[in-house]
Amino acid sequence: MKEYLVLLAQQYPEFRCPELESLAALHNVTVDLSQHNPESPFMVVRLEDDDAAKKLMYRSVLGRRIYELWGHGTTLDELHSDVKSRMASNFDAYKHSSFKFDFIGYMGKRSTTEKRQIIDGFRYTGWEGKIDLKNPDNVFTVLEEYHTVGQEKASKPDHLWFGREIQQSLREANIIQKYDLKTRTYIGTTSFDAELSLVTANLGHAGPNKLVYDPFAGTGSFLVAAANFGSLTMGSDIDARALRGKGPGKDIHANFKQYGTSVQLVDLMGMDFTHNALRPSLAIDSIICDPPYGVREGLKVCGARNPERAAGRENVVIEGEKAHLRRDFIPPKKPYSLSSMLEDLLQFAAERLPVGGRLAFWMPTANDDFEETLIPQHERLELLYHLEQEFHKWSRRLVVYVKREEQWRNVTRNGLRERNITDFRQRYFDGFKKESTEETE
């Protein structure tokens, strides 16, 4: 095992380790992330070799780069001493390779003069190769972490690392800018943020030769993200208008065409998830979605509020054809609760996913009454992560499960139903005030 240094993005620090763990599991890479510090972009890990480092980093969205760690210290002298003790025997391997030096500073930086002096300090390596700033064989990087005191910027770093760059991530290749909603052909009011869509696809194990299904597809944000990683994608939504879009060239198909992934869109279906028409034998490898929260309008599914009254309408005939069999028939809808929707989603995943398949979805929670027991559970699904994106008084949480073997058993539980949590939509518009029953207890 060798030491590597991971350079992380500072966005969504709570999500960084779960993404790397998921990528490690996807590629059967063993890695220890125990040295992660959410307040720092630097993390030392141990990996088998450079190939494992490349697999861990190349499709990461919250990672930036990974380096073979050659040394570290709190001062330049300590850094050089550590580099010499670790790598002296390997300097000859790069003696005639082209190279360049790079500098990365967190919360501080060096002047050009200082950088030149530091580069000169590495003359003991004895490298004779050509300096190539555009396409070098190797990039050797000095990484520094500074900490400010009050309003004053630190003049010296607290810690320094030196390493050989192994792999840059998709983030460094501007993947987030590529999928930015501002440049996307077709979006709607519920289109999901590009960065977190890609992260969700990573945690959901989207990848080549896998079929990813989004039962609440909307404008297709998660389908587009999954296709980026090579998945075949399929979506459905009770609101067929979102799937159809705004006309030719302004729909989900146009988004796939924009990103060159049209061949990876299998199908889109106007369908109520609770009345699923997919054949039971269809192999779905991952389910990735953002179920509706019922904020803009209450949650609904196909069905009649009053079944007895609706039964009398089955014999209504229009132009010689029963009304409910006509193509222009709009089925009635009835109210549906968030707890029921998540319960049905877990049951569907438990039935349809293969062993090792993942379910990743977002659920809303009010910050004042959240407890981990609110996260729904299913006997066949292991809860891996529930990660929070906070919006002042409420949060949405990315919840990720994996399906386990037949003999594995969890406890089936629906905390939302058990605690009789107030309808999220009502609490949202009430400003998340505590329930009167809670206030009197």
Say what the pLDDT of residue 441 is: 38
Q: Indicate the pTM of the whole model.
A: 0.89
* Cα separation values, 112 from 103, 155, 220, 326, 431, Å: 10, 14, 46, 74, 52
Number of Cβ atoms within 10 Å of the Cβ of 112: 8
Say what the pLDDT of residue 436 is: 38
User: Which string of DSSP letters, residue by residue, matches 301-328?
Assistant: EES-SSHHHHHTTTT-EETTEEGGGSTT
Query: Would the CA dihedral through 417, 423, 428, 433 be positive or negative?
Result: negative
Query: Which residues in 343-371 are b (16+ Cβ under 10 Å) and which e?
Result: bbbbebbbebbeeebbbbbbbbbbeeebe
Between 3.40.1280.10, 3.90.1150.10, 3.30.2130.30, 3.30.360.10, what CATH number should domain 2-173 receive? 3.30.2130.30
Say what the pLDDT of residue 254 is: 96
Domain residue spans of the chain: 2-173, 175-299+336-430
Phi, psi at 317, each rounded to 5°: -115, 135
Query: Among the residues of 126-181, which ranges form H helices?
Result: 175-178
End-to-end CA distance of the chain: 56
Which long-range contacts link 418-423 to residues 24+ away (Cβ below 8 Å)?
418/373, 419/373, 419/374, 421/339, 421/369, 421/374, 423/294, 423/298, 423/337, 423/338
Say what the pLDDT of residue 427 is: 65
Tell the CATH topology of 175-299+336-430.
Answer: Rossmann fold (3.40.50)
Say what the pLDDT of residue 155 is: 82
Question: d(Cα 213, Cα 352) in Å, to the nearest integer?
Answer: 11
Sequence-distant (6+) residues with CB within 8 A of 307 are: none
CB 272 within 8 A of CB 345: no
Phi, psi at 367, each rounded to 5°: -65, -25
Sequence-distant (6+) residues with CB within 8 A of 363 are: 291, 338, 342, 375, 396, 397, 399
- Nearest in space to 5 (alpha carbons), one of 143, 110, 138, 109: 143
CB 334 within 8 A of CB 309: no
* Cα separation values, 3 from 17, 35, 417, Å: 17, 12, 47
Question: d(Cα 190, Cα 284) in Å, to the nearest integer?
Answer: 24
Which long-range contacts link 346-349 to residues 24+ away (Cβ below 8 Å)?
346/376, 346/377, 346/378, 346/381, 346/401, 347/378, 348/215, 348/273, 348/276, 348/287, 349/287, 349/378, 349/381, 349/401, 349/403
Longest dimension (CA), the chain: 92
Say what the pLDDT of residue 298 is: 58
Question: d(Cα 284, Cα 278) in Å, to the nearest integer?
Answer: 10
Distance of CA 152 to the CA centre of its chain: 36
Say what the pLDDT of residue 430 is: 64
Say what the pLDDT of residue 55 is: 98
Which ranges of the chain have pLDDT less than 50? 436-441
Phi, psi at 165, each rounded to 5°: -65, 130
Question: d(Cα 267, Cα 216) in Å, to the nearest integer?
Answer: 13
